[in-house]
Amino acid sequence: MAELGRRRSVSQSLLRSLLESQLRQLIPGEARPLEMVDLGGGTGGLAASLASHGHTVTVIDPSPDALASLDRRTAEAHLGGRV
């Protein structure tokens, strides 16, 4: 998935790789957009990556600061309407 100009931790990269594998098994041969929920999504690193592949992601996080960072991240990546 797209890196969107940000560094990723090893655990985040592993999670993203695992999720990509699961999505390929869920929708083999047909990459149709899905609607997803990211609980505790923080600043939206994973959500932005998924949205950059056409999925719609709802991020739920109790931190207003994290959600403000998520808004900036999605605006910079032109992902409005998908996160």
Q: Is the whole-model pTM more than 0.85?
A: no
CA–CA gap between residue 55 and residue 13 (Å, rounded): 18
The answer to whether 54 touches 79, Cβ cutoff 8 Å, is no
- Tokens 């990459």 found at: 31
Residue 78 identity: H
pLDDT tens, residue by residue, 35-74: 999 999 999 988 998 898 888 999 999 999 999 999 999 9
Question: Under 8 Å CB-to-CB from 5, ≥6 apart: which residues?
Answer: 76
More confident site: 25 or 72: 72
